[in-house]
Amino acid sequence: MGYSSKQPDPAKALQAVIEEADRLRPAAKAKNQGLFQRIERVLAREQTIRITADPHQS
């Protein structure tokens, strides 16, 4: 690596985490369907609240 610091590049580290989560998601979703359904409902409700609170936000 060309970095003088021992810290990894935050963007690359985040990308690696996202890719690993994407890889593991189907198995986790199959094992925890109820949890994922609840998370999706909460996220949908939060999105609705945000849109209702600020109709100019897309």
Chain centroid, CA 42 distance in Å: 14
In a domain? residue 2: no
pLDDT in tens, 23-44: 999 999 899 999 999 999 999 9
Q: How far apart are CA 30 and CA 3, in angstroms?
A: 40
Q: How far apart are CA 17 and CA 2, in angstroms?
A: 22
From residue 46, alpha-carbon distances to 7, 19, 49, 50, 54 in Å are: 35, 25, 5, 6, 12
pLDDT at 18 over 90: yes
Domain that residue 37 falls in: 10-53
Question: Which residue would you say has higher pLDDT here, 53 or 57?
Answer: 53
In a domain? residue 25: yes
Q: Number of structural domains, the chain?
A: 1
